[in-house]
Structure 1
């Protein structure tokens, strides 16, 4: 028998739900993968600093290690989004974790720079695809009234992973000549976690409905409703209206008249934020070593600076549902610009740590708002594609940023370098003002 409730759109039923333990499981499961991603990206900054000494790498060679990974991320983000819109969020999410987990573990066995560069590229393929797919996945389960906050909470797992990387960098990497190998070995954990993701989390019901698989979508929605203590509908899905399968996602659809302004704003945002973030945070340990701090002390400073990410996410998570996406993102980007200038001109340990913590606070809060705004910019059939291509464009900047750091340091030192980062943050502030405000609105 068909009930009236069966005919209600899947998205409306999802938006009507309160936050349940089932939502928490989805957020936590995705967030753990997110944290493991951050741990991998964070570890490379400490590995670069160690290998620069151990392998006597020139600054340009050291920058190749970071840029190789980001080159893979650019391709992975673009392709991963397309695959997730075609084959589903959960399957692609698990595959990305497996790819970069295995490649990271294999990196522990390399004997030279060439092999490490190849493996870092493969790591990037998985890592680049995972982040936009995970944010899309969680946003499609989140009720509209709390969607932005939940995505910021998801992004906050980045701070957990980066803090783990800082601890490993501080305790493991300097411990022996093979410390960096043990750090990479720990990065293989995602390969095991991929199996848990594959079988433990449901597929996105919004995606299923967009592909005409309403019966499967309704089963998942009913499970969430039951977890909320609501009356579960009968298991039969007979008579559930099926929508026509969505057409295969096309990149050119992102530049249709209705979407081109949003896409342009997002691509500028992702490019500028990636350039400044990865240019700064991948190189901070190496820059501190170059300024005369020993390896252990430099890593200790980086650990303290990293801890400021957590309150940054917490404040952004609160403001994003109070001020909205645009205002929160613009405010944190402006704070990042000011903090970048302060860090570049800081002298003395206290000033370096304080300015670094401010940069960490504002920059990661901005990341939380950006990840919240990106998936909800596009309709369901294009959501992962749009998020993936925005991230892919950003990864182009993350390739260029590590390569740009050595010559900028050579010309004007840290002051010039961080003024350049501040300028990119300022451009991002302007781009943020062109985003469409989606606070409290249902996903299309």
Structure 2
């Protein structure tokens, strides 16, 4: 049997460059978790001060998610103008919006500013994750992209702790809480300076000399353009329609729908964590610390998923994860009044098993779509997911007020079970494939020749 030729990009060792890029790319998810969670503590002061009813409380809580929905469409811009430029611009917008929150006086002002915050975060998802995926070796791709989701829960946990501590400042503590997201954003902008452009994107645009220069800078003098084979380089066009073509529609539906089913209950629970815990009579008077513990459980759940994503495979892991999540949230819905042990078991099961979908949320769209639409795909599937998250977050306080915690969580269980059915029906397997092979939708039924299929397969070996 012929020995597979080593590819300097796909088979590269995990280097200090990969480490830095993973950390910098995790900045967006960290700030996402921070911004979406700090509002949960801030709302305990904002609601009475700005006289917010349940409708406005839900709108303020969901505003950043609506912005992320809008920002996801900027993935198309990322595919057109490049990853590197947008990598910094979006954080500058985030810094300005973070600081403006300090001076707001009405609920609608806060809604608009947090909408802008969400747009900048939503734009960063396709930018940072596409750049990370296109530099990552095949064996580390799942871990590197999975780490970005861990960063989300780190940001969420930190936000709850910071928010609870800041409450001692006084009745205007919420202004300092919301503006505090500017601090990590400024640090990340400075760290991201000098990050190279994706050589795959450069090659796709026909900029071969620049692509080769980046390859040699990152991987050494032996690197060549043969190490990043890009089908139809310089010819394939960025287009929304490709995501809904025969070859990719199934993948678009899979990623968007499982992503939506995962985050709709989750974001509502994180955004209104203190209120939810009060409904269960847990951590009363210290809801911020209780919410931090739950967020930390979500973080812990991501750790085994980082290792299992290659061991079990993408498909099996996400199916098992959704099954476990469904059982966990079902317990929370069936036993709203205790016993406490059952309630805690429900929280732990839901949080731990959610690690699988969390890791796959950015790994799947980056693996399943080619270079010319990778950013677009991440953006569009993020938009689909946030459509559900917006409604879940907006309706959560309304459900608590009108039906109570038990029925509200049963609705979340139904949504999660729907995610399980989606994964069983649509989830593909891409474990250990090169980025080219994983993102190819070619099959014997398509109009591409068998020669093209064999060529693509050999490049992935």
TM-score by length of 1: 0.89
In structure 2, distance between residues paired with 1:202 and 1:329: 33
SS at match of 2:405: helix
Q: Which moved more, 1:215-224 or 1:389-398?
A: 215-224
In structure 2, distance between residues paired with 1:54 and 1:358: 37
Question: How far off is 1:425 after superposition?
Answer: 1.0
Question: How far off is 1:294 after superposition?
Answer: 7.4
Question: How far off is 1:21 after superposition?
Answer: 1.0
1:176 corresponds in structure 2 to 170
Written as runs of structure 1 = structure 2, the 5 A alignment for 1:330-369 is 330-344=319-333, 345-346=335-336, 347=338, 351-369=342-360
2:293 corresponds in structure 1 to 304
1:281 and 2:275 are equivalent in the alignment: no
1:421 corresponds in structure 2 to 412
Which one of the candidate residues 391, 399, 402 is aligned to 1:408? 399
1:189 and 2:178 are equivalent in the alignment: no
The unaligned stretches of length 5 or more in structure 1 are 1-8, 227-231
CA contact (8 A) 1:84 1:385 kept: yes
Question: How far off is 1:443 after superposition?
Answer: 1.2
Written as runs of structure 1 = structure 2, the 5 A alignment for 1:120-159 is 120-159=114-153
Question: How far off is 1:246 after superposition?
Answer: 4.1
Q: Structure 1 residues 246, 195: closer, same or farther in 2, change over 3 A?
A: farther
TM-score by length of 2: 0.86
1:201 corresponds in structure 2 to 195
In structure 2, distance between residues paired with 1:283 and 1:37: 15
Q: Structure 1 residues 194, 297: closer, same or farther in 2, change over 3 A?
A: closer
Question: How far off is 1:209 after superposition?
Answer: 1.3
1:5 corresponds in structure 2 to none
Question: How far off is 1:194 after superposition?
Answer: 5.2
2:206 corresponds in structure 1 to 212
Question: How far off is 1:92 after superposition?
Answer: 1.5
The unaligned stretches of length 5 or more in structure 2 are 437-461
Q: Which moved more, 1:297-306 or 1:18-27?
A: 297-306
Q: What are the superposed Cα offsets for residues 81-109 of structure 1, whole Å, 9 maximum, x if unpaired?
A: 10111111122122222212221221121
1:60 and 2:55 are equivalent in the alignment: yes
2:156 corresponds in structure 1 to 162
In structure 1, distance between residues paired with 2:255 and 2:217: 34
Which one of the candidate residues 414, 428, 432 is aligned to 1:440? 432
In structure 2, distance between residues paired with 1:34 and 1:236: 31
In structure 1, distance between residues paired with 2:377 and 2:188: 24
Q: Which moved more, 1:174-183 or 1:140-149?
A: 174-183
Aligned residues, how many? 427
Q: Which moved more, 1:25-34 or 1:287-296?
A: 287-296
Which one of the candidate residues 39, 46, 52 is aligned to 1:44? 39
> RMSD of the alignment, in Å?
2.7
In structure 2, distance between residues paired with 1:296 and 1:275: 26
